[in-house]
Amino acid sequence: MSKFYLTITILGESGVGKTSFADKVAHDTQYHRYAPTISPASAHMSLQVDGDLYELNFDDISLTPIRVREPGFANAIINTAVRKSYAVVLLYDITSEESYRQVTEFGWQYLWDLRDSGDESRTGDYEEENQSETRKFGCVLVGNKVDLVQGDNSDKREVPKDLAEEWASMVGVEAFEVDRFDRNVLEDVLKALIRNTNWAKRRDEEDNEVVRDRQKAKEENAEKPEEQKRISRFPALKRLKVVLTSTKSKSQRAK
Ligand SMILES: Nc1nc2c(ncn2[C@@H]2O[C@H](COP(=O)(O)OP(=O)(O)OP(=O)(O)O)[C@@H](O)[C@H]2O)c(=O)[nH]1
Ligand SMILES: [Mg+2]
């Protein structure tokens, strides 16, 4: 069994239940009183997935102060944490359409903008580092507080389940609905996230391999004499050269 370290970023508007999610799944505790998190809060847990052991660390990060550019908010630290993250939970509250819209529009854009602008390598928490060209990440879309729309309270739902599922499948992630009372469902979310993260990491490795191969070919090519360079740029030239040489020697023999 291999052991991996992974930091999971929980991203969403203030009050959607980021801290509650991490506390419930990591410590099986629930806080009923709302205490806004003022800096990235952390929780830890171990989870076995597909025969491997994952040591998980949670960073919960509120989108609201980033979005409204709250004065004094440590954006540089947050940006670096988000840019380096391999695994992201996009969390919204299913009783708040606004929280869904912000996380799927502003939050999604924010994640990709950081990757497009980031020039530093992500160190992540995976054991094998050196991911200088990595930019993909694992992700799940999670609607929280499903307990609030049960039975007679169904009219409190502001985000239809199929709307979220449609968006999720459009961007290639899985969608879930959870609440802070059912820890098993939260674990299922994490397992799906870890699998998606491993998939993203494999795609990154393949991309990196292509980049390395191209670089190697370029370097090798730079050392070759001019004629060989032309041939390696246009492999058809090599075949043509063989044909011409054999035609030439045939016609010489015929003479
Ligand atoms: N009914 C219900 N309430 C929840 C659930 N999850 C969180 N809450 C409540 O929602 C409020 C906000 O939860 P937090 O976990 O503090 O939210 P947060 O996203 O960490 O908020 P910030 O730290 O301000 O960004 C608290 O009153 C929680 O008790 C849930 O699944 N169901
Ligand atoms: Mg919080």
Domain with residue 28: its CATH number is 3.40.50.300
Ligand closest to 180 (CA) is: 1
Q: 113 and 27 in one domain?
A: yes
Distance from the CA of 61 to the center of ligand 2, in angstroms?
8
In whole angstroms, give the CA distance from residue 69 to residue 211. Answer: 37
Q: What is the mean pLDDT of each run of 10 residues along the chain (255 residues)?
A: 92 95 86 67 88 93 85 72 89 98 96 70 41 72 97 96 97 96 95 95 83 84 73 67 69 65
Q: 100 and 41 in one domain?
A: yes
Domain of 134 in residue numbering reads as: 3-211
Beta strand 138-144 pairing with 174-177: parallel
Q: 178 and 67 in one domain?
A: yes
Sign of the Cα torsion 212, 218, 223, 229 reads: positive
pLDDT, position 125: 40
249 found inside a domain: yes
219 found inside a domain: no
Ligand 1 neighbours, Cβ below 6 Å, are 12, 14-20, 31-32, 34, 36-37, 60, 62, 144-145, 147-148, 179-180
pLDDT, position 25: 92
pLDDT, position 220: 82
191 found inside a domain: yes
pLDDT, position 31: 65
Domain count, the chain: 2
pTM as predicted: 0.80
- Name the residue type at position 167: W
